[in-house]
A and B are shown apart, each in its own frame.
Chain A
Amino acid sequence: SQQGEEDPQALSIQEGENATMNCSYKTSINNLQWYRQNSGRGLVHLILIRSNEREKHSGRLRVTLDTSKKSSSLLITASRAADTASYFCATANSGGSNYKLTFGKGTLLTVNP
């Protein structure tokens, strides 16, 4: 079953606006990762946040993690048309097999010029 669930499923904004995507999960995690996928392409790793971290920045990306609520958010500031893509969260569960990432279904972000 899917561990991470992104919300919303789809988001459409104007260039220059901020985009916020959320991810909820069910079990304890070791870390949470965000990936981007352009249409028909492979995934690209964006950022990894560990369970003992609360916030992380990378360029125009800001990721937060609230382990008490089992949720994470990805904020893209000053969006560009090139940010149009699907965004996936992937959780690495603590305990058990530590090889595995479990991906959500993704949020489709459309940035209109």
Chain B
Amino acid sequence: SQTIHQWPATLVQPVGSPLSLECTVEGTSNPNLYWYRQAAGRGLQLLFYSIGIGQISSEVPQNLSASRPQDRQFILSSKKLLLSDSGFYLCACVGANVLTFGAGSRLTVL
């Protein structure tokens, strides 16, 4: 079964600073990968998904971008953070019809 690693686990950044959240996957190859954001401890919003290296689909126009430089690496970035970017960011991948999540990265923008 696959394992997802996310880092950093917690991040506090000032408004206008850049962002890089990293996700790596073990135990599978050529996975579909996803970035979700959870605001205020409730609903999940799909931000990006990727079906292969260099292939990124954006679900919501926003201040963020994603990249997939390697098969099992998925990166979420921003050039200039906004207060509204605060939230809990979850990386996930599909295996055996089940979506597996990483432990998440909590971002606070001040």
Q: Are A and B part of the same complex?
A: no
B binding-site residues for A, Cβ under 8 Å = none
